[in-house]
């Protein structure tokens, strides 16, 4: 008798079969084969058993160790579509027997063959709140999979496989249904589970593979892996994660690449050789335990895998120390202590939560949960008990479903009623924390909760309370904890790290001698528990230590005690994260007095502590009393503080004293001027400026109702555009927002606007000024053409210019027309949006406009006679010689490879946060402490929020092409060659002065006979992100659009770094070796060479990136580069 499947897995690689459906179609499957059940693949086991058997036989002949049964859609929900819901058992039994017969035919003692009973999704999404897709319970799903598993077990399968999982909650139900069927049939079979990841690297509803792994491993699943949806390339990040972290066997069953449409037919493009090589690398690098093929694979793919995969070095399985929310898994080993459990979603501790629940304001509760998450909570404690009504069970179920979907951190179900816990857990996809159990009733409730935790992959909070009551001494605490620990581990198999012990503490605020050592005893009990029961976790409701004391005193005492509890080994604290303070930030005197009380250092410690804080609170009202401000000061403060709530009431108050025009022109405009000055000084960040502008817009919108009809909306009309060939418009959009929010009418022509259209639209709309934006030197030349064209059309509208290549000198230069006259309307350089606002205010005031134009003419005349400064020349300068590598790196292939559906989770670690925050989001503050606070409290949560929203809504379409080529260099010219030596492109570089190298070709072997290698890459974030940005701008959510645009641009750079890093690994270079260079930058000035990279990599066809006439890429969140591998390469 040969090895069982479990024995084989422990020693060898297991090779599964390939696709069933696509291979059946290849064999000629037609509609007539289905008889009266058109499209029901499972029905083929009855009407075409010969075809089903042939598919199994072909794969076994190709070398499969195991074949999967024709039962993918064999559940009652799917079969009901074909009027077969009453035949679930027979469908699965019959299909499994066909597979068993084929496998037995090929089995030998030395090479046994196995049958994997497959169970696919029902098509329902129980985790979703959608009334149709989510309209099924966990219990119903568990029964559906239990029924299916019985037929597969009885048919003789060796394993049960839950595959193509799209919803983690359904996968939990399926796994438990399978295990229940095995228990009933008294069988020990391998249970496998494979999720499918969408193009964003997550499951359909946004769940990461880390959450799948954590949850299903606790349920006792033997194999966890991936199948379907993508090819092996797209799966690699998830496979690497599982290899490093998964506590059970790992499987990888990809499609033959991502499907493409050819002549109206869907084709999976990956050939057997390429797929086998990739899977062999997965076996070698990630030591996967099971390999196989999904859609698009056939016996040829499996045969090539069998020939290529080789021996499997078995992986050591790490212990599962993860816990999981609906969306993500969290490694307990890497979590900073204390892990903070937010306590405000608790009706017994939060008055606000209680009022929200009484009103059934679930939206408000969700926002409260999000606020706790933003404040730093790692877990949310959820308690829904109300003394006013007996609806706790229903309320907690609703809260569990709503919060699970709305926050990315896990939930802690907090109830003394086991029925409530039992009702809520089936609605939670991840690993819920259960709060709590004790031994007050001898362990009856504890046993019930431990059983629920085992079934639902939960963690359990254990209170050291026994039949005698709360344990107060160290020894009694340890005794109660030991009983609970042994019960959970021995009777229910719960790992120690899934047990959190609350060693209880008691208030120090009463002065009772019995509790004087409460804090000391709690810390000692934590320390001893960790020694006696290694691996267990500890938790505390920290605020109990200060019960009965004044609010300010409680905050400090709680944080000081928490610090020392963590030093003793505390892992988790139930706290309000909004009040969390680091120990080092507590004033020294506060700490000293608190520690006197905590450590019972002196008999008067409590009195001294109370006196000290009573004194502090008595002074607080005097210190906190705000200065009395005038209405003008309050209005300005409102703009400055970005206060949208109070601006309109203050406007109404101000209109009792001032006319609307004065409020706008004097008070509000002066406030915005101060905001601009703060930005200039680096005392305010750009996003705050935009929020102030939104307050300004709200004020003006309100005031316009009270302005005379002939003056409303007459601050001025501006036409703005990004010039032709340029796709960058963030600067233009900022100007638009500031002008609009200050009462100007803005006509935005968008980006890549031809000069002719700018002139025609300006004339048609009779504007007060025209604004032109450009990012590149090559496109800025259109500004000069526009100035001349305005003059030729007989127009003299003032023209404002802005963008990186512009400055005052450039404005003067383009003011000179062909006939050497000066453009009458004036050309003004706008350094930023506030400069543009200042200029527009002067140009729309008749008196100020005359002064502004006089100053403009005078400045032009003063500079016209200035001689040009000698700029020097770059030619003939030779930089230092660059040492080249003597040995060329070994390239993995020649030609081009496309990467699509790159996981955002793999790219975000490459994001340069400093550049994003400083450059993309404008966090250039002089005050370093304020900048650090801004980043920690606002930008980091916002980044996480935008990342999750972008992934959830499918805004990111991350893809790339890259390739390796031979090259030949002669002086400044590089010939790029294909593998056969055919010249693809010639690229001419130009020498520059200064640092070495003088020219990029110095990094390559030089000479007509010498060859070297070069790599090129192109990446894009995709077009969908720009649709999202446009939608936000159209909705006048300018601030969020600004943030999303900044993120998208920097994400393109992160994607470029990700691909570059992959190239380094493939070339086996040192970390950080080599550089990437792009056209249009100092060492490669010819932006026209973008065309050559596009030609070499076939970028437009492969990535749908287009080049404008100015050689700008559309979408703008795209980059190209040449990769230089030389270890001396520098910028």
pLDDT at 838 over 50: yes
Q: Determine if the peptide bond prior to 1115 is cis (ω within 30°).
A: yes
pLDDT at 993 over 80: no
pLDDT score for 1019: 97
Confidence band for 379, pLDDT divided at 50, 70 and 90: very high
CB 167 within 8 A of CB 121: yes
Compute the average pLDDT of residues 323-348. Answer: 94
For residue 564, give Cα distances in angstroms to 376, 508, 510, 560.
20, 15, 21, 7
Q: Based on the domain organization, do 571 and 457 belong to the same domain?
A: yes
Compute the average pLDDT of residues 512-539. Answer: 95
pLDDT at 212 over 50: yes
pLDDT score for 616: 67
Q: Based on the domain organization, do 226 and 118 belong to the same domain?
A: yes
Q: Based on the domain organization, do 997 and 1119 belong to the same domain?
A: yes
Compute the average pLDDT of residues 917-927. Answer: 81
| SS3 category, 72 | coil
Q: Determine if the peptide bond prior to 427 is cis (ω within 30°).
A: no
pLDDT score for 997: 56
Structural domain includes residue 543 = yes
Q: Based on the domain organization, do 274 and 129 belong to the same domain?
A: yes
Q: Based on the domain organization, do 940 and 993 belong to the same domain?
A: yes
Which residue, 94, 117, 106, is CA-closest to 48? 94
CB 734 within 8 A of CB 746: no
Write down the number of H helices and E strands in the chain: 42, 36
Read off the pLDDT of residues 767-792 as tens digits, 9 standing for 90 and up. Answer: 999 999 987 655 777 899 999 999 99
Confidence band for 711, pLDDT divided at 50, 70 and 90: low
pLDDT at 93 over 80: yes
Task: Dump strand ranges (E) for 235-321.
Answer: 249-253, 260-262, 265-267, 290-291
Compute the average pLDDT of residues 507-526. Answer: 93
pLDDT at 887 over 70: yes
pLDDT score for 777: 58
Structural domain includes residue 464 = yes
Read off the pLDDT of residues 269-292 as tens digits, 9 standing for 90 and up. Answer: 999 999 999 999 999 999 999 999
Q: The tokens of 347 are what? A: 């009706």
190-200 CB burial, b ≥16 within 10 A, e <16? bbbbbbbbbbb
Spell out the residues 6+ positions from residue 797 whose beta carbon is closer than 8 angstroms to its own.
762, 767, 768, 769, 770, 790, 825
Q: Based on the domain organization, do 530 and 565 belong to the same domain?
A: yes
Compute the average pLDDT of residues 916-923. Answer: 86
Structural domain includes residue 689 = yes
CB 1107 within 8 A of CB 1094: yes
Q: What whole-number percentage of the chain has pLDDT above 70?
A: 93
Confidence band for 925, pLDDT divided at 50, 70 and 90: confident
Compute the average pLDDT of residues 381-409. Answer: 94
pLDDT score for 626: 46
> Which of 706, 738, 770 delimits the end of a domain?
706
Q: Based on the domain organization, do 675 and 798 belong to the same domain?
A: no
**DSSP bridge pairs for 773:** 722, 802
Domain containing residue 761: 717-864
> Which of 842, 864, 886 delimits the end of a domain?
864
| SS3 category, 70 | coil
pLDDT score for 232: 93
Residue 788's domain is classified under what CATH number?
A: 3.40.50.280
Most confident of 478-492, 643-657, 781-795, 973-987: 478-492
Structural domain includes residue 529 = yes
pLDDT score for 875: 29
Q: Based on the domain organization, do 307 and 452 belong to the same domain?
A: no
**How many other C-beta atoms can be found within 10 angstroms of the C-beta atom of residue 846?**
7
Rounded Cα distance, 955 and 1029, in Å: 10
Q: What is the C-alpha R_g of the chain?
A: 35
Structural domain includes residue 558 = yes
pLDDT score for 119: 98
Residue 644's domain is classified under what CATH number?
A: 1.10.1240.10
Tell me which of 685 and 655 has the higher pLDDT: 655
Tell me which of 802 and 622 has the higher pLDDT: 802
Q: Based on the domain organization, do 809 and 958 belong to the same domain?
A: no
Rounded Cα distance, 1016 and 370, in Å: 43
Q: The tokens of 930 are what? A: 């304020």
Average pLDDT over the chain, rounded to whole?
89
Minimum mean pLDDT range among 329-343, 474-488, 610-624, 712-726: 610-624
Q: Based on the domain organization, do 405 and 424 belong to the same domain?
A: yes
Read off the pLDDT of residues 1087-1117 as tens digits, 9 standing for 90 and up. Answer: 899 999 999 999 999 999 999 887 889 999 9
Domain count, the chain: 5
Rounded Cα distance, 266 and 296, in Å: 10
**DSSP bridge pairs for 1046:** none
Residue 1092's domain is classified under what CATH number?
A: 3.40.109.40
**How many other C-beta atoms can be found within 10 angstroms of the C-beta atom of residue 1030?**
12
Read off the pLDDT of residues 435-444 as tens digits, 9 standing for 90 and up. Answer: 999 999 999 9
pLDDT at 735 over 90: no
Minimum mean pLDDT range among 56-65, 637-646, 684-693: 684-693
pLDDT at 868 over 50: no
Q: What whole-number percentage of the chain has pLDDT above 90?
A: 66
Minimum mean pLDDT range among 449-458, 675-684, 785-794, 951-960: 675-684
Q: According to the 3-state scheme, what is the secondary structure of 767-813?
A: CCEEEEECCCHHHHHHHHHHHHHHHHCCCCCCEEEECCCCCHHHHHH
Torsion of CA 587, 590, 591, 592, to 10 degrees: 120
Read off the pLDDT of residues 285-321 as tens digits, 9 standing for 90 and up. Answer: 999 999 999 999 999 999 999 999 977 789 999 999 9
pLDDT score for 208: 93
> Which of 560, 581, 602 delimits the end of a domain?
581
Read off the pLDDT of residues 39-59 as tens digits, 9 standing for 90 and up. Answer: 899 999 999 999 999 999 999
Q: The tokens of 75 are what? A: 């559940």
* H-state helical runs in 867-939: 904-907, 913-915, 928-934
Structural domain includes residue 887 = no
Structural domain includes residue 926 = yes
Compute the average pLDDT of residues 127-139. Answer: 84
Q: The tokens of 442 are what? A: 């001898």
Q: Based on the domain organization, do 221 and 336 belong to the same domain?
A: no
Minimum mean pLDDT range among 471-475, 663-667, 675-679, 1110-1114: 675-679
pLDDT score for 510: 85
Confidence band for 31, pLDDT divided at 50, 70 and 90: confident
pLDDT at 863 over 80: no
Tell me which of 31 and 457 has the higher pLDDT: 457
Structural domain includes residue 886 = no
Spell out the residues 6+ positions from residue 913 whose beta carbon is closer than 8 angstroms to its own.
943
pLDDT score for 880: 43
Q: Based on the domain organization, do 68 and 198 belong to the same domain?
A: yes
Q: Which pTM was predicted?
A: 0.62
């Amino acid at each position: 008798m040969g090895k069982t499947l479990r024995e084989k897995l422990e020693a060898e690689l297991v090779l599964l079969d390939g696709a069933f459906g696509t291979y059946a179609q290849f064999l000629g499957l037609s509609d007539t084969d289905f008889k009266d059940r058109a499209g029901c693949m499972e029905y083929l086991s009855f009407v075409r058993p010969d075809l089903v058997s042939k598919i199994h036989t072909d794969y076994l002949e190709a070398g499969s160790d195991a074949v999967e049964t024709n039962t993918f859609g064999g559940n009652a929900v799917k079969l009901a579509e074909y009027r077969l819901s009453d035949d679930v058992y027979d469908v699965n039994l019959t299909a499994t027997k066909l597979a068993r017969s084929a496998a037995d035919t090929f089995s030998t003692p030395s090479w046994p063959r196995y049958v994997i009973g497959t169970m696919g999704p029902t098509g329902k999404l129980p985790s979703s709140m959608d009334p149709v897709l989510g309209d099924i319970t966990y219990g119903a799903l568990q029964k559906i999979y239990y029924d299916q598993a019985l037929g597969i077990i009885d048919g003789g399968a060796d394993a049960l496989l839950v595959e193509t999982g799209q919803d983690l909650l359904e996968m939990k139900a399926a796994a438990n249904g399978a295990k229940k069927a095995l228990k009933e049939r008294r069988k020990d079979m391998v249970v496998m589970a494979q999720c499918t990841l969408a193009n964003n690297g997550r499951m359909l509803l946004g769940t990461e593979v880390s959450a799948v792994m954590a949850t299903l491993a606790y349920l006792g699943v033997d194999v966890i892996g991936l199948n379907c949806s993508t090819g092996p390339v797209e799966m690699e990040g998830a496979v690497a994660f599982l290899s490093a972290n998964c506590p059970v066997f790992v499987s990888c069953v990809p499609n033959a690449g991502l499907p493409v449409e050819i002549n109206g037919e869907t084709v999976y493009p990956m050939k057997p050789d390429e797929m086998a090589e990739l899977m062999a690398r997965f076996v070698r690098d990630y030591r996967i335990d099971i390999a196989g093929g999904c859609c698009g694979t056939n016996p040829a793919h499996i045969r090539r895998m069998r020939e290529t995969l080789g021996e499997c070095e078995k992986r050591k399985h790490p212990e599962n120390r993860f816990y999981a929310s609906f969306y993500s898994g969290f490694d307990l080993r890497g979590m900073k202590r204390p892990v903070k459990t937010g306590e405000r979603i608790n009706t017994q501790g939060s008055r606000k939560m209680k009022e929200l629940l009484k009103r059934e304001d679930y939206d408000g509760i969700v926002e409260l949960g999000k606020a706790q998450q933003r404040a730093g909570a790692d877990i949310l404690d959820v308690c829904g008990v109300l003394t006013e009504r007996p609806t706790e069970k229903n309320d907690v179920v609703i809260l569990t479903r709503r919060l699970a979907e709305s926050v990315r951190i896990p939930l802690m179900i907090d109830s003394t009623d086991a029925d409530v816990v039992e009702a809520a857990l089936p609605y939670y996809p991840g690993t819920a924390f259960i709060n709590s159990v004790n031994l007050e009733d001898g362990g009856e409730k504890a046993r019930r909760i431990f059983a629920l935790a085992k079934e639902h992959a939960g963690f359990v909070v254990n209170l050291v309370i026994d039949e005698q009551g709360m344990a107060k001494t160290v020894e009694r605490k340890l005794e109660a904890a030991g009983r609970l620990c042994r019960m959970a581990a021995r009777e229910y198999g719960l790992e120690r790290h899934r047990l959190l012990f609350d060693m209880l503490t008691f208030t120090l605020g009463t002065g009772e001698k019995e509790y004087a050592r409460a804090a000391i005893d709690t810390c000692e009990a934590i320390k001893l528990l960790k020694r006696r029961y290694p691996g267990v976790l500890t938790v505390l409701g920290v605020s109990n230590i200060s019960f009965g004391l004044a609010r300010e005193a409680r905050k400090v005492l709680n944080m000081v005690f928490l610090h020392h509890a963590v030093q003793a080994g505390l892992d988790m604290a139930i706290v309000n994260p909004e009040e969390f303070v680091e120990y080092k930030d507590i004033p020294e005197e506060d700490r000293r007095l608190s520690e006197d009380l905590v450590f019972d250092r002196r008999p008067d410690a409590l009195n001294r502590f109370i006196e000290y804080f009573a004194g502090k609170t008595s002074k607080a009202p005097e210190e906190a009393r705000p200065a009395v401000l005038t209405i003008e000061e309050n209005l300005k403060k409102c703009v400055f503080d970005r206060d949208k709530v109070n601006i309109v009431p203050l406007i109404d108050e101000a209109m009792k004293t001032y006319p609307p025009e004065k409020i706008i022109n004097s008070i509000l405009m002066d406030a915005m001027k101060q905001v601009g000055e703060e930005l200039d000084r680096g005392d305010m960040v750009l996003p705050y400026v935009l929020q102030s502008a939104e307050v300004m817009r709200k004020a003006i919108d309100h005031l316009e109702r009270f302005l005379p009809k002939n003056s409303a909306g007459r601050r001025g009309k501006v036409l703005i555009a990004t010039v032709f060939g340029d796709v960058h418009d963030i600067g233009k959009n900022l100007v638009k927002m500031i002008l609009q929010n200050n009462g100007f009418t803005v006509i935005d022509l968008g980006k890549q606007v031809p000069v002719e259209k700018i002139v025609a639209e300006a004339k048609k709309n009779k504007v007060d000024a025209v604004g032109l934006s450009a990012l590149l030197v090559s496109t800025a030349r259109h500004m000069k053409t526009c100035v001349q064209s305005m003059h030729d059309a007989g127009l003299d509208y003032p023209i404002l210019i802005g963008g990186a290549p512009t400055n005052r000198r450039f404005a003067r230069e383009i003011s000179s027309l062909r006939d050497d006259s000066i453009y009458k309307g004036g050309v003004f350089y706008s350094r930023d949006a506030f400069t543009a606002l200042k200029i527009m205010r002067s140009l729309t005031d008749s008196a100020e406009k005359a002064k502004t134009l006089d100053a403009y003419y005078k400045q032009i005349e003063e500079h016209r006679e200035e001689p040009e400064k000698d700029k020097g020349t770059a030619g003939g300068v030779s930089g230092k010689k660059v040492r080249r590598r003597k040995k060329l790196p070994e390239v993995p292939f020649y030609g081009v490879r496309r990467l699509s559906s790159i996981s955002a989770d793999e790219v975000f670690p490459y994001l340069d946060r400093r550049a994003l925050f400083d450059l993309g989001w404008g966090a250039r503050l002089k005050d370093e402490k304020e900048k650090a606070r801004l980043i920690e409290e606002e930008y980091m949560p916002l980044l996480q929020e935008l990342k999750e929203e972008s992934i959830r809504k499918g805004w990111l379409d991350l893809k790339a092409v890259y390739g390796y080529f031979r090259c030949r260099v002669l002086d400044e010219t590089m010939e790029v060659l294909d593998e056969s030596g055919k010249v693809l492109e010639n690229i001419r570089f130009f020498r520059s002065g200064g640092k070495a190298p003088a020219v990029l070709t110095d990094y390559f072997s030089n000479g007509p006979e010498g060859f070297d290698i070069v790599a090129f890459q192109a990446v894009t974030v995709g077009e969908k992100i720009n649709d999202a940005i446009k939608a936000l701008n159209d909705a006048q959510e300018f601030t969020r659009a600004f943030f999303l645009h900044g993120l998208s641009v920097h994400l393109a750079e992160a994607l470029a770094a990700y691909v570059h890093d992959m190239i380094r690994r493939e070339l086996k270079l040192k970390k950080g070796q080599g550089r990437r260079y792009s056209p249009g930058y100092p060492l490669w000035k010819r932006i026209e060479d973008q065309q050559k990279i596009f030609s070499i990599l076939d970028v437009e066809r492969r990535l749908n990136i287009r080049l404008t006439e100015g050689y700008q890429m559309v979408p703008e969140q795209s980059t190209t580069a040449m990769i230089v591998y030389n270890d001396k390469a520098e910028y």
